[in-house]
Amino acid sequence: MPTSQRSRSYAAAVGARLRAVRTARGLSLLAVEHQSGGRWKAIVVGSYERNDRAVTVVKLAGLAEFYGVPTEELLPADAAPSVVDDRNLTIDLRRLAALPSGQAGPLARYAATIQSQRGQDNRTVLVIREQDLQSLAVVYDLGPDSLTELFFSWGVLTGKQPTGADQQPA
């Protein structure tokens, strides 16, 4: 399956997980809007669930917090883009900060969120896990291996560049 099709399929599966978690809590879309004090509009949450609108990683983490579940519970493991191996990647935060915000904005926001969630004070490197890479791949609409290659081309990943099965030109 081509990378963009796999990413759309994964995004649809994320929407289905969002709906499943919401309904498991007995919440309607309007109840989400009311209980969140309007932070989560019914129309927006519904569009995430239908995959009519892309949910950012930050918003996905916010919804997970609202629903009282870990963010990874909103990520469907059985529909995850295939990845060559279980890996951790180290992001050089100084190099990331030096990139134009338009280029690395989603990665920078995600890195800041992960640091906050982990309570990390280290401002030089951040280790992202396989699940982080899968989430970022959805945001960038790339396969995990292609995304890894892109991050290496930006100079924000440290270590040896792995070779993967779904690499495409960045």
Residue 95 domain flag: yes
- Give the integer Cα–Cα distance in Å for 128 and 115: 10
| Domain edge (last residue) among 79, 97, 114 | 79
Residue 154 has pLDDT above 80, yes or no: yes
Residue 166 resides in a domain: no
- Asked if residue 27 and residue 73 are part of one domain, the reply reads yes
Q: Do the domain assignments include residue 84?
A: no
Residue 145 has pLDDT above 50, yes or no: yes
Convert the pLDDT of each residue in 6-27 to its tens digit: 667 788 888 888 998 898 889 9
Beta partners for residue 126, in sequence order: 91
pTM of the model: 0.47
Residue 164 resides in a domain:
no
- Give the count of domains, the chain: 2
- Asked if residue 97 belongs to a domain, the reply is yes
Averaged pLDDT score across all residues of the chain: 80
CB 32 within 8 A of CB 40: yes
Q: Which of 87, 94, 108, 105 is nearest to 155 (CA)?
A: 94
* Residue 24: other Cβ atoms inside 10 A: 10
In a domain, 112, yes or no: yes
User: Per-residue pLDDT for 84 more than 90?
Assistant: no
DSSP E strands in the chain: the ranges are 89-92, 125-128, 157-158
Residue that is written with structure tokens 């640091």 in the block = 115
pLDDT at 33: 96
Residues 43 and 72 in one domain: yes
Q: Which domain range does residue 25 map to?
A: 3-79
- Boundary (domain end) residue, out of 79, 100, 118: 79
Work out the pLDDT band at 170, boundaries 50, 70, 90. very low
Q: What is the pLDDT of residues 118-129, one digit of tens each?
A: 776 667 888 887
